[in-house]
Amino acid sequence: MAGTEPITGAEFFARSLAANGTTHVFFIDAVLRRTLIELGTLGVTRVLGHSEKAVAYMADGYARIAGRPAVCFAQSVGAANLASGLQDAYLANTPVIAFTGRKPPAMQHRNAYQEIPHQPMFSSVTKFSAFVDSAAEMPRLMRQAFRESMTGSPGPAHLDLNGLQADVIELGMVSEAPVAEPAFQMTMPPHRPTPSDDDIARAAATLRATKKVTIVAGTGAMQSGAGQELLALAEALHAPVATSLGGRGIIPTRHRLSVGCAGNYAAPPTNQIVHAAELVLFVGCHTGDQVTHTWRIPAIDTPCVQIDIDPRELGRSYPNTLGLMGDPKATLAKLVDAIGKSSRDSGFGDWAAGVMSAWRQDRAPFMANGSVPIWPDRLCDEITRALPHDGILVADTGYSSIWSSSLIELNGEGQTYLRAAGSLGWSFPAALGAKCAAPNRKVICWSGDGAIYYHLTELETAKRRGIAVVLVINNNSGFGQGWPNIQRQQGNKPGDVRELVRFGPTNFADVARVFGLRGIRVEDPSQIQPALKDALASDETVIVDVATDIDCRAPEPWLPQAS
């Protein structure tokens, strides 16, 4: 901006982040030191972690709760680790902006110490990646990074800054005002387009004409805040509502039309209900293999209506799709108005509610089980009881996601469920980031013992920075999800199969104390609720280490019989 007094790149960078509502940055030394000092003068909390991947996960958890871009930094040599940490944010459509240092162009392609090309690593895990040669380029490229991360399907962006520690950028001068765009200071999405009236009318007519409609809501619906509109449409159509893991909790999970998560992490009745539909309405839900159990739930020839803010997703997997390009919340509101309140047969919704009710009744004895070692079903029930009205539940991938998404109930009104999009070990650093974004909400993290080993050192970060989460460890001394499969594969062959997926036993309550934190060891199911209550009352991170049975199996997803 002409006439603006020049400031250093470090001052510009720090003031721009603060002006856009950034309250925390997550980083590994040594990079952007001048910027970090400036951020401290502006009241932005600087969270130093113990690995680049962990700080990327912290930023991911922060962004999912804050609903706006989160920021992480790494030095040149740490860029590869930071890029690997962005995979989960990319798969989960999370707006994370990563900044890395890079040795100057004159040092490239000359075997510079610790330097490899950054662009190939970031190209597959970001929507936008650019090299910033000079401080004068920062205003334009920062605006673009924020824009790319927030619009359409959100996702990570990356700026590679000139200088090993980004010092070329920090010491350069900028003659423009700090970047501060109101659209990127609010929650996602910053823009809410809707389909044409003709497209809405066509979709409404199709939905009205179909007796058996099931809705599958995903991450995009959750990011859009579309729960109220989704429930209104479901009730108007008497349509069961399934979700992806990213959509879990968008409506109350105990609502009569809520039928759980679909796909290969599903409880048995959910897939059965989705498969029985004559038409499936996907709302902000990428139709990948997980939510569709490899495109079998629903069957590939099932008619679909699909709402997505990214037109590239419409019909990506299901060929018989009527696509509606628009923000899920705004588009659902128009659909609700178009469908109206005409009478409609409730038979399909009633049937689905009955199927879910019967399954819950069958599962109830498992969730009340008093066995030792503890059954994870019981742990799920106790977390449901303990999670505060506005609590945040963060779950790791694999069995952590299956157990928690199938059996922990959410109120759909203030509670939030975050899950790993595939990276084992994600949950604990992400939970720390989530707590930074919502300091007045309680956070419970569900991690397996196999997952927590990845980033156990972040207990020190939690202690040092005073970040209070309840870390529940489903401790079965091994990788429980794969345990029965690898036993079958071993068969009668010589060798100890335990060497492949078993470890420990480790008492993580003792580990907590080594880091100066509290740990509670739980070996009897009657101790779970008092331990959770005690931990939730604390103002620092507490480990609740629950000794569980590795031979317990999570609910198995239903599939139609092969013809």
* pLDDT at res. 187: 74
- Domains of the chain (ranges; CATH) run 7-184 (3.40.50.970), 197-353 (3.40.50.1220), 368-547 (3.40.50.970)
Contact 331, 221 (CB under 8 A): no
C-alpha triplet 246, 453, 264: angle, nearest 5°:
30
In this predicted structure, the answer to whether residue 561 has a pLDDT above a threshold of 90 is no
Closest by CA position to 103, among listed 31, 44, 200, 38: 31
Is residue 563 predicted with pLDDT exceeding 60? no
Cβ neighbours around 358 below 10 Å, total: 11
Asked whether the predicted pLDDT for residue 562 surpasses 90, the reply is no
Q: What is the pLDDT of residues 349-368, one digit of tens each?
A: 999 999 999 999 999 999 99
- In this predicted structure, the answer to whether residue 171 has a pLDDT above a threshold of 80 is yes
What CA–CA distances, in Å, run from 456 to 50, 397, 453, 471?
10, 16, 5, 11
pLDDT interval class at 1 (50, 70, 90): very low
Q: What is the pLDDT of residues 124-166, one digit of tens each?
A: 999 999 999 999 999 999 999 999 999 999 999 999 999 999 9
The pLDDT tens digits for 43-60 are 999 999 999 999 999 999
Q: What is the pLDDT of residue 438?
A: 98
Q: In what helix (H) or strand (E) does residue 107 lie, and over which residues does it extend?
A: none
Tokens 């721009």 appear where? 16
- Flag whether pLDDT at 2 surpasses 90: no
Q: In this model, does residue 462 exceed pLDDT 90?
A: yes
Q: How far is CA 307 from the centre of its chain?
A: 20
Residue % of the chain over a pLDDT of 70: 99
Give the pLDDT confidence of 383-432 residue by residue, as tens digits: 999 999 999 999 999 999 999 999 999 999 999 999 999 999 999 999 99
Taking only the tens place, the pLDDT of each residue in 237-263 is 999 999 999 999 999 999 999 999 999
**83-118 CB burial, b ≥16 within 10 A, e <16:** bebbbbbbbbbbbbbbbbbbbeeeeeeeeeeebeeb
Question: Cα dist. 293→245, 413, 558 in Å?
Answer: 13, 28, 9
Task: Give the helix, strand, coil percentages of the chain, each rounded to 5.
Answer: 45, 15, 40
Q: Angle at Cα 282 formed by Cα 213 and Cα 128, nearest 5°?
A: 180
